[in-house]
A = this chain, B = another copy of it.
């Protein structure tokens, strides 16, 4: 029996195949994200992995349904597996906004889902670090979010050679559009064309833009000039003060937020404050109106990048001690030792059933353990023989001292 197409199993190390996904890798990335968010004073939240379909159509219209993992539940409700975190956040904030002092700085690490019929071999889920600031829409809030984005990548040992955050500005584009076209109704189509500039060939883009009354050359010139608008300048200045200026680049070619699984440039940030604020208002039925900014960063391309760059730590030698049980007469004492070691915070394994000494020792080596420990009873004295598997040095300590001794060595 197979898992569903587009989903991942996460195995422990050693991974069963080169392209298999690792649970410990995933946990490592989540932990680094969580630590970074914590340093930035963001608090964790989460919601259900399934939401009313309406939560997404309210925001994006009925046409979004074609991309959602939606279905009808047993209670005849139209529902969807969580497609993005912002609508859930908006729902949660709308319900309890008054409970929290502003600005609200929250993060989550949700698993997100989508289902497009025509996609073959593409993932239907990913995990995402989502961070949002609500209640403050100044460029300083953008800068704080971008700095967190940068530091959650730096925490994974990625450097400015590995990534750059591309910054765009909706207000700069708005201005560009307004100066050339009076018909705001055309704006959505215009942004769609810009968004596809990198993927479409020049002729297609030229045609699309021409229909709307724009020229590709004019658009390209605007992008290449990359003249920072007032909001972007403030963001850049803030990041420069932090020493993070080299991690960002103005790039008006970016219209959307973080792209969903698209290609190697996974880092991008789009100021979509107006958009998110509207979402909270929409979902609260107009009752709550707070500015909101945020970003999402996926785990899929990031994990591949970390693998390719050799930046993942080794996950195979987490075990501290293997307890050898050379005769069954010492099993009870050995179990007591094992409990002492684990109570002291050490990671310990041992042979569950009687096994020959060389087989036990082989197992200890397989597990990549640093030390073995063996209970020895000499006359009335109960001791523990500790062996360092790297230096092969041995020492014998009293039974009650063993946990302290081994905890000090690790």
Question: Chain A: residues with CB nearer than 8 A to chain B?
Answer: 1-5, 7-14, 16-17, 23-24, 26-27, 34, 38-41, 43-52, 54-55, 58, 69-75, 77, 79, 81, 88, 91-92, 94-96, 99-101, 103, 105-106, 108, 111, 115, 117, 125, 133, 136, 138, 140-141, 144, 147, 151, 237-238, 241-244, 283, 285, 318-319, 331-333, 335-336, 338-339, 342, 345-349, 352-353, 363, 366-367
Contact = CB atoms under 8 A, between A and B. Distances in A.
B52 A1 contact: yes
Copies of this polypeptide in the complex: 2
A19 to B, nearest CB: 13
Nearest to A115: B74
Given A51-B4, A58-B1, A91-B1, A342 B44 contact: no
Nearest to A147: B339
Contacts of A74: 69-71, 115, 117
A79 to B, nearest CB: 6
Contacts of A27: 34, 44
Contacts of A23: 43-46, 108
A92 B4 contact: no
Given A43-B12, A242-B338, A332-B241, A4 B38 contact: no
Task: Pick the most buried of A54, A75, A79, A333: most chain B CB atoms within 10 A of its CB.
Answer: A75
Contact of A39 (B111, B140, B345): B345
The list of the 4 closest CB pairs from A to B, nearest first, reads A12-B43, A7-B48, A16-B96, A41-B349
Given A44-B24, A347-B39, A3 B91 contact: yes
Contacts of A95: 9, 16
Contacts of A125: 48
A164 to B, nearest CB: 18
A148 B55 CA distance: 41
A89 to B, nearest CB: 10
A9 B47 contact: yes
A99 B14 contact: yes
Given A241-B335, A336-B241, A319 B92 contact: no
Given A26-B46, A138-B353, A242-B336, 8 more contacts: A1-B58, A3-B52, A7-B50, A11-B92, A38-B318, A41-B347, A105-B349, A133-B352
A146 B86 CA distance: 41
B331 A79 contact: no
